[in-house]
Amino acid sequence: MAAERVLVATANGLEVEATVVGVDPVFNVALLRVPSLRLPYLKFAEGRAARVGDWIVSLGTSYNTQPTQSLGNVAQRHREPGQSLLQLTNTVYPGNSGAAALNIRGELVGLVQGELGSPDLAGGDGAGRSSGGASFAMPVETLRPVFESLKKNGSVAHGYLGVSTLAASLESDREGGPSTPIGALVEGIVAAGPANRAGLRPGDLIVAFADERVETPEQLARWVLATPPGRTMTLVWVRRDTEHHAQITLAASPERVPQWLAGGETAPDGPKRVAELSREIERLRQEMERIKTGEGDRR
């Protein structure tokens, strides 16, 4: 955390210094301790997870430090390996990241992450309200283990696969058409890592993780990092024209802020390795075309 001091402001204007217990950059959560204040705290929602249609009240603070609140409901649940998101109809204001999402009993059901809206409409009505995009919150079932780990250890352990990857895509048949991402191309393997033990090799194309299709290296990295070490997941990859499956038990990331958070590690061999992988991507592109038309051998 880059800040030298962290101050907490109360509703009556009092400012007190807080101690940073822990920060996790993957889930974008920090835990603070304010020993000089005795205030009531929010309770985590117990029992069933928030469902589509449930009422949600979001309470936060905007960039200009004004309190904000909005009423909405859960529009959809997005599930991904190691994490999920609640899509809300609540209005999100600039600076609302980290706002509390509460149920009708005042219990915490999630932490607001932000809003997807039209960039040219940002700022909306001129009163600090953003345009009517989709707002998202990290649900309490994802947040609570992060909170407990920060409280106990000051950090969160993240999953580790032990590979570095590059993007792979299929070019459109139409000239100038968009390319289609097809997975994460393995660039390098860590000798003692889970991927090496499972038999992956440079040049393999990872296409699925935990029964979810992998389209980009960043997506794979996010899912691996969000999965606790020791968890066994299904990994699917393509080598030449054959599909391989394995159950892989993730190790713990050796880095407090994993390099994968920035989209992957950098290979030590520069231009030569890039040229080799470019040829490999072209070969995989041709093989994926054969697989799509049913000509590939599948196992």
CA–CA gap between residue 148 and residue 172 (Å, rounded): 47
What burial class does residue 105 get, using C-beta atoms within 10 Å of its C-beta: 0-12 exposed, 13-18 middle, 19+ buried?
exposed
Q: Which of 81-95, 212-226, 266-280 is the least confident region?
A: 266-280
CA–CA gap between residue 146 and residue 154 (Å, rounded): 10
- Residues forming a β-bridge with 71: 57
CB 249, CB 230: distance < 8 Å: yes
Encode pLDDT of 86-124 as tens digits: 999 998 888 888 899 999 999 999 999 876 653 433 344
CB 45, CB 55: distance < 8 Å: no
Helix segments in 192-270, DSSP class H: 194-198, 217-226
So what's the pLDDT on residue 63?
A: 78
pLDDT class for 31, splitting at 50, 70, 90?
very high
- Cβ neighbours of residue 136 under 8 Å, at least 6 residues apart? 78, 85, 86, 87, 88, 112, 113, 114, 115, 116
pLDDT class for 180, splitting at 50, 70, 90?
confident
Domain extents in the chain: 6-153, 159-292
Encode pLDDT of 134-166 as tens digits: 789 999 999 999 999 999 999 999 999 999 999
So what's the pLDDT on residue 299?
A: 46
Encode pLDDT of 2-27 as tens digits: 677 899 888 888 899 999 999 998 89
CB 88, CB 136: distance < 8 Å: yes
Encode pLDDT of 120-136 as tens digits: 333 444 444 444 557 89
C-alpha dihedral sign at 253, 256, 262, 266: negative
Q: Quickly name the fold that domain 6-153 has.
A: Thrombin, subunit H (2.40.10)
Q: Quickly name the fold that domain 159-292 has.
A: Pdz3 Domain (2.30.42)
CA–CA gap between residue 87 and residue 110 (Å, rounded): 11
Report pTM.
0.74
Greater model confidence, 93 or 251: 251
So what's the pLDDT on residue 56?
A: 95
CB 105, CB 94: distance < 8 Å: no
